[in-house]
Amino acid sequence: MPETVSGFARALAALSEAGVEFVVVGVGGINFYARTPADAFATLDLDALVAPAVENLELALSVLSELGYEFEAGGEPFVDLDDRVVLGRVVGNGGMLSAIHAAENQIDVLTSIAGFDFSSLAFDAAQFDVAGATIHVGRLEKLLRSKEASGRPKDVEFLKSFRARAFEDDD
């Protein structure tokens, strides 16, 4: 294990060791395929797609809460961490909760993403080691396709940057 372990790494390792079913997605997931820190893309948060089951979401929130994270939904505080009716609505709506650590970082806990459901991302996810735990990361091709499918301006810009950087590497 490296000498220093960031809050992001501690959180993902804790989720994995607790048995939470999740796949790292988004720009953070794409960064797992970078060769060096200089190749990683800047992002303000890390996206974790959890298996869309109430028990799984509840476990994820419990683990992150124990690490000092607080939660928001749509910019408002979210405190119903063990209310299965409310969590069921989050899962049913394909919603997202932001887990925010005042001192360190933000992890977006997603129950859906554009273009893929959890199972199709999880079945062939890459497995990497993080702080001694096995972490599942969506296949690079799928993470890029999800960004294409979302159609959000920031994702379109990201894909332009990704493509440009990839072609620079070919030079």
Partner 1 sequence: MSSSLEEIAKRIEAQPWNRPGTDKTWVLNAMSNHLQFREEVRKAKRARNG
Selection from 159, 114, 138, 134 nearest residue 32 by Cα: 138
Q: Looking at residue 82, what DSSP letter applies?
A: T
**To which residue do tokens 């299965």 refer?**
84
Nearer to partner 1 among residue 46 and residue 87 (C-beta):
46
| Residue ranges in contact with partner 1 by CB under 8 A | 1-2, 4-9, 12, 28, 31-35, 37, 40, 42-44, 46, 104-105, 126-131, 134-135, 137, 139-141, 144-145, 148, 159, 162-163, 166
CB of 37 to partner 1, least distance (A): 4
CB of 129 to partner 1, least distance (A): 5
The rounded distance, in Å, linking the Cα atoms of 36 and 43 is 16
Q: Looking at residue 39, what DSSP letter applies?
A: G
CB of 64 to partner 1, least distance (A): 15
